[in-house]
Amino acid sequence: MSEFHGDEQQGAPQAHATLIQETGMPGTGEALRERHTARAHSAADRTKAACRYAGVAADPAAVIAVPTEAAAKAANAIRLSADALVALAGGAPDPAADARHARNAAAASVLAARMARSHGADELSDAAYQAALKASQAAGTAAGREGMGRNEVLNAEAEAAEAAAVAAARAAGWV
């Protein structure tokens, strides 16, 4: 099952991902979509909670291309999360696209976490912001070229990072 690239042999995580892609196991397109959707919903919930904590009302009319005001930043973050959820709800399952939508929701939560952190700057807020950033990075890695939304190891890491972000946001009082 391993594949050679020059003198390098595929690593165990990559070989595992190749096996998953070839066999469709351990997750089918629907099962993978459910996992990516769960992460996206969690990130969207964190986005809304962080905006509420920061005392920023997200007026949908405030969405602009380059937000500078807190309300516009909040509106953009929530809109990005909502767009990701809508995209996940439509069409046939596509693990790569579904993982990108989950990544987008996680990235939006970083924007909201930055606002919440600036509103209540302390150790717990810093930790919640850092956890949001790590969740976004892990979601990006799971959606990236190596994972394409199918790599079990990368998906599990993204799920663990999302759970840690939720716990940190809760500890900071954002949720």
Structure tokens at 91: 């069409």
> Is the pLDDT reported for residue 164 higher than 50?
yes
> Is the pLDDT reported for residue 21 higher than 90?
no
Give the C-alpha separation, 171 to 175, whole Å.
Answer: 8
Q: Give the pLDDT of residue 70.
A: 75
Q: Give the pLDDT of residue 167.
A: 98
Structure tokens at 107: 């990235």
Angle, nearest 10°, between helix axes 70-89 and 95-119?
A: 160
Q: How many CB atoms lie within 10 A of CB 127?
A: 18
- The rounded Cα 82 to chain-centroid distance in angstroms is 13
Arithmetic mean of pLDDT, 149-174: 97
Location of structure tokens 């700057």: 121
Of the listed ranges 6-10, 31-35, 65-69, 163-167, the least confidently predicted one is 6-10
- pLDDT bracket for residue 5 (50, 70, 90): very low
Arithmetic mean of pLDDT, 93-109: 96
Amino acid occupying residue 159: E
> Is the pLDDT reported for residue 45 higher than 90?
yes
Of the listed ranges 26-30, 119-123, 149-153, 156-160, the least confidently predicted one is 26-30
Between 19 and 35, the more confident residue is 35
> Is the pLDDT reported for residue 108 higher than 90?
yes
Cross-strand partners of 4? 9
- What percentage of the chain carries pLDDT values higher than 90? 61
